[in-house]
Chain A
């Protein structure tokens, strides 16, 4: 129990009269990269919002780092990057990071560290709104890395990035993982699944599979992750 970063039981979320998450239960061990995969509309973002404690839930328990999700002590321990880059377009990259660093009470040197980590040092003085979509989402990712979060929740961080940059970011994600740091990364690109330690496949608000990429492929006998997912869907 203690070495689980996330533990979810009986989680139900209802939004606007429809059940978005249906009775989810799963655990995410500490020190892993877990990929949350599924087609759009499957409930990925809602589930991530539950982990952050910003989503009202209808039933169930969500425990994050040993605390109930949303409890104040978690606020410095979770880094979050939403799907649309939640940064100020009318501030420079460094101004954005300085402000969010103050919000999460990160030390001053952190700003340079995270700018370097997402490879934006040469853009530090640029207005965020003038950057490309991929650069903006890296600013947002850098914000999530400020301080010393023990859980990083990243909602489609690689969307719209070119293959080289995606490769770099996945390498970065694996560098960020330590015994005590856990990453949960959502994506609807099945190819990215192979880079994760564990996969959580979501479809229509239900867990379709929760296992390692290898076991998923072996079990379904599929050549690619995309194929494995399709086979699971058809078998369901």
Chain B
């Protein structure tokens, strides 16, 4: 691994985004606009207060998954990935660079959405900073799973089809629609192995408790572990030699 190449990759991805202001605007604004929409769909600040935290982790996860899987697929089809793999650049330098660049975008995305949510009536008992940490980790998880999913897609079109497969089950089982403890055993087991569940659990800790216990840190560790594992698995799918 070379920190210089990782930084160069992150800079390159951000430069690509700079030339595409429309995508940046969509990435940054959409979660916030959806939070506003949600607030008025429920038309109740107490319901909003209950679902907003989960969605603050879900939206970055979803958008980063989509962005990353399509971007990475493009990198594969354009031949730039193959070209990079003929250079000394390490696989983790490339994937890590993507992770860093998209994390930068996520921070902006999440800070804006969280601030607007608070203004719309979300109460956060714990520290706002921890809320951001959890949201950022879910974004990174989205990046990692998006990179991994792109390895199994041959076209951008297929890459998009992975969204319902990877993201929606996690969305349904993460505890947003029904507390995980009340689910049938099989569903709860499924939700236990889905990383997004831990993001939702962690963010619930932050919004409900001023003092954070060991449960919160366990959730954060699981989330971070899954993101790192996803990145590493994705790196393993990059082959320097192909058929």
Quote the shortest CB–CB distance from B7 to chain A (angstroms). Answer: 9
Tell me whether A102 is interfacial, beta carbon within 8 Å. yes
Quote the shortest CB–CB distance from A161 to chain B (angstroms). Answer: 19
Q: Are A54 and B242 in contact (CB-based, < 8 A)? A: yes
Q: Which of A103-122 contact B (CB under 8 A)?
A: 103-105
Assess A127 versus B19: contact at CB under 8 Å? Given A54-B86, A54-B242.
yes
Q: Are A84 and B88 in contact (CB-based, < 8 A)? A: no
Q: Are A54 and B240 in contact (CB-based, < 8 A)? A: yes
Q: Which of B1-58 contact A (CB under 8 A)?
A: 4-5, 8-9, 11-12, 15-16, 19-20
Assembly CA distance A86 to B19 (angstroms): 18
* Stretch binding the partner chain, chosen from A88-96, A171-179, A220-228: A88-96
* Stretch binding the partner chain, chosen from A22-30, A68-76, A180-188: A68-76
Quote the shortest CB–CB distance from A9 to chain B (angstroms). Answer: 19
Q: Which of B217-242 contact A (CB under 8 A)?
A: 240-242
Tell me whether B124 is interfacial, beta carbon within 8 Å. no
Partner of B87, one of A56, A85, A98, A100: A100
Partner of A75, one of B16, B78, B87: B87
Output the nearest chain B residue to A147 by Cβ-Cβ distance.
Answer: B87
Quote the shortest CB–CB distance from B179 to chain A (angstroms). Answer: 44
Tell me whether B129 is interfacial, beta carbon within 8 Å. no
Assess A86 versus B83: contact at CB under 8 Å? Given A76-B88, A95-B15.
yes
Quote the shortest CB–CB distance from A52 to chain B (angstroms). Answer: 5
Assembly CA distance A127 to B20 (angstroms): 11
Q: Are A70 and B80 in contact (CB-based, < 8 A)? A: no
Chain B neighbourhood of A90, CB < 8 A: 16, 19-20
Q: Are B88 and A105 in contact (CB-based, < 8 A)? A: yes
Q: Are A70 and B79 in contact (CB-based, < 8 A)? A: no
Tell me whether A143 is interfacial, beta carbon within 8 Å. yes
Output the nearest chain A residue to B20 by Cβ-Cβ distance.
Answer: A90
Assembly CA distance A56 to B241 (angstroms): 6
Q: Are B19 and A99 in contact (CB-based, < 8 A)? A: no
Q: Are A88 and B241 in contact (CB-based, < 8 A)? A: no
Tell me whether A15 is interfacial, beta carbon within 8 Å. yes
Output the nearest chain B residue to A54 by Cβ-Cβ distance.
Answer: B241
Tell me whether A53 is interfacial, beta carbon within 8 Å. yes
Quote the shortest CB–CB distance from B63 to chain A (angstroms). Answer: 19
Quote the shortest CB–CB distance from B3 to chain A (angstroms). Answer: 11
Q: Are A102 and B242 in contact (CB-based, < 8 A)? A: no
Assess A91 versus B16: contact at CB under 8 Å? Given A53-B241, A55-B241.
yes
Quote the shortest CB–CB distance from A128 to chain B (angstroms). Answer: 10
Q: Are B241 and A86 in contact (CB-based, < 8 A)? A: no
Partner of B15, one of A15, A75, A91, A143: A91
Tell me whether A229 is interfacial, beta carbon within 8 Å. no
Tell me whether B89 is interfacial, beta carbon within 8 Å. yes
Output the nearest chain B residue to A78 by Cβ-Cβ distance.
Answer: B86
Chain A neighbourhood of B104, CB < 8 A: none
Q: Are A103 and B241 in contact (CB-based, < 8 A)? A: no
Tell me whether B212 is interfacial, beta carbon within 8 Å. no
Tell me whether A87 is interfacial, beta carbon within 8 Å. yes
Q: Are B83 and A82 in contact (CB-based, < 8 A)? A: yes
Tell me whether B84 is interfacial, beta carbon within 8 Å. yes
Chain B neighbourhood of A56, CB < 8 A: 241-243
Output the nearest chain A residue to B93 by Cβ-Cβ distance.
Answer: A103
Chain B neighbourhood of A95, CB < 8 A: 12, 15
Assess A88 versus B88: contact at CB under 8 Å? Given A53-B240, A56-B242, A95-B15.
no
Partner of A70, one of B16, B82, B89, B240: B240
A54-B241, A102-B4, A127-B19 provided; 12 other pairs, C-beta below 8 A?
A16-B243, A54-B85, A56-B241, A75-B86, A84-B78, A88-B16, A90-B16, A91-B15, A95-B12, A100-B84, A103-B87, A105-B88
Which 8 A-B pairs give the minimum distances between C-beta atoms? Answer: A86-B79, A102-B8, A103-B87, A86-B83, A99-B12, A103-B89, A75-B88, A90-B16
Q: Which residues of A contact B (CB under 8 A)?
A: 15-16, 52-56, 70, 72, 75-76, 78, 80, 82, 84-92, 95, 98-100, 102-105, 127, 143
Would you give 29 A-B contacts (Cβ < 8 Å), ordered by A? A54-B240, A54-B241, A54-B242, A55-B241, A56-B241, A70-B240, A72-B88, A75-B86, A75-B87, A75-B88, A82-B79, A82-B82, A86-B83, A87-B80, A88-B80, A89-B78, A90-B19, A91-B15, A92-B19, A95-B12, A99-B9, A99-B12, A100-B83, A100-B84, A103-B5, A103-B8, A103-B84, A103-B89, A104-B87
